[in-house]
Amino acid sequence: MTICFFFFGLTLVILLSGIHSATLTVKNNCPYTIWPATQTGGGAAQLSNTGFVLSSQASVSVVTPAPWSGRLWARTQCSTGSSGKFICATADCGSGQVACHGAGGTPPASLAEFTLASKGGKDNYDVSLVDGFNLPLSITPQGGSGENCTTTSCGANINAVCPSDLAVRGSSGSIISCKSACVAFNQPQYCCTGMFNSSNTCKPTNYSMIFKNECPHAYSYAYDDRSSLFSCTGSPNYLITFCP
């Protein structure tokens, strides 16, 4: 397998030759810098780019193998501290570096999730707030077809309506992210565990409905499948936009 790097203006394109692939282009529409990250699921090898910096209006395209499953999120308010370790105020992966090396983001974190099929198969993708919210985002297929092969998003700023018992506050006292009830309370009825570990027993709660009302097409709890899961055939690429 050959890895090649090409720079086009503000866009970094990473090409992996010799395999069928799908391109995830990550765009930062926020008026500030963010630090996106990727995590491959299922014990498979991590992508070559597991964390990077994006200034406002910049984009990076990461080529994934197909099939591939994993998630993408963005960290905010990051810096290198006096210890020399890289840390972020939201969704930090704990690696101490810009690259996450397979570690996930610490909740709360808004997630773009993908299960990408081999050529000609069906891709599934979603925006998930199951781990809480830190940034608005959208996923837009580029190409592909299917009844619900369309953009899904959480474009609202949930931090603005986050209740105090879910709120994470920054050094200035402002709300910088919003926990899910599962993250905040770790109780089975909120986490869909134990006797609540099925679609018949795990139902929306007053907390999950805060997220659902703001972002009706995003997952608000683990079994929120009906209006939250999207799919495409035809091997499209995908644009993930933060602050769409």
Domain ranges in the chain?
Answer: 2-158+216-242
Indicate the range of 2-16, 154-168, 203-217 predicted with least confidence.
Answer: 2-16
The structure tokens listed for 196 are: 């609540």
Position 175 pLDDT exceeds 50: yes
- Structurally, at CATH architecture level, domain 2-158+216-242 sits in Sandwich (2.60)
pLDDT confidence bin for 152, thresholds 50/70/90: very high
Q: Region of 18 please: left (phi>0), alpha (psi -120 to 50) or beta.
A: left
The structure tokens listed for 187 are: 């109780």
Indicate the range of 38-42, 115-119, 151-155, 158-162 predicted with least confidence.
Answer: 115-119
pLDDT confidence bin for 58, thresholds 50/70/90: very high
Average of pLDDT values for 195-218?
97
pLDDT confidence bin for 195, thresholds 50/70/90: very high
Average of pLDDT values for 42-47?
92
Q: What are the beta bridge partners of residue 68?
A: 116
pLDDT in tens, 219-239: 999 999 888 999 999 999 999
Average of pLDDT values for 61-80?
95
Position 16 pLDDT exceeds 50: no
Q: For residue 86, what pLDDT is reported?
A: 97
Q: For residue 12, what pLDDT is reported?
A: 41
Position 119 pLDDT exceeds 70: yes
pLDDT confidence bin for 120, thresholds 50/70/90: confident
Q: State the pTM of this model.
A: 0.90
Q: For residue 82, what pLDDT is reported?
A: 80
pLDDT confidence bin for 75, thresholds 50/70/90: very high
Spatial separation of the C-alpha atoms in residues 134 and 73, rounded to whole Å? 9
User: 32-44 burial string, b = 16+ CB within 10 Å, else e?
Assistant: eebbbbbbbeeee
